[in-house]
């Protein structure tokens, strides 16, 4: 098995475990990824912006997914400093730890591939 396929297999197993632990569907995982990416780029998403991510689903289904993610403690809403009416979406430490484990798997796979 190639290092890439080994990484995909292990990452898939980790994703399945995380999804089962938190009762997530694919849409929820994709929303967590998008919120995290925007946070990492210092361009956090507001709920209204997240709802417009049509590649993930309809506005109604995205809103329902966001509501579930908040209820499960995977996403929080953070008020903007000065204007408290503006609120950004942020993933919680639970999600950050999961993504950190995925990153570690990727690095380990790359290191193992370079040794061969």
Instruction: Quick: pLDDT tens for 18-49.
Output: 999 999 999 999 999 999 999 999 999 998 89
Number of structural domains the chain divides into: 1
Query: Partners of 90 in the beta sheet?
Result: 76
List the domain range (segments joined by +) for residue 86: 3-115
CA atoms within 13 A on the CB side of 115: 7
What CATH code is carried by the domain that includes residue 15?
Answer: 1.10.10.10
Digit-coded pLDDT (tens) for 84-113: 778 899 999 999 999 999 888 888 877 776
Residues in a beta bridge with 77? 89
The model carries a pTM of: 0.87
């Amino acid at each position: 098995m190639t290092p890439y396929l080994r990484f995909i297999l292990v990452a898939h197993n980790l994703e399945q475990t995380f999804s089962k632990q938190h009762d997530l569907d694919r849409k929820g995982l994709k929303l967590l990824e998008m919120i995290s990416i925007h946070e990492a780029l210092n361009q956090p998403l507001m709920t209204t912006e997240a709802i417009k991510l049509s590649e993930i689903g309809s506005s109604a289904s995205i809103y329902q997914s966001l509501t579930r993610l908040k209820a499960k403690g995977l996403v929080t809403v953070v008020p903007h400093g000065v204007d408290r009416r503006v609120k950004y979406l942020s993933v919680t430490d639970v999600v950050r730890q999961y993504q950190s484990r995925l990153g570690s798997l990727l690095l380990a796979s790359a290191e193992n591939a370079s040794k061969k």
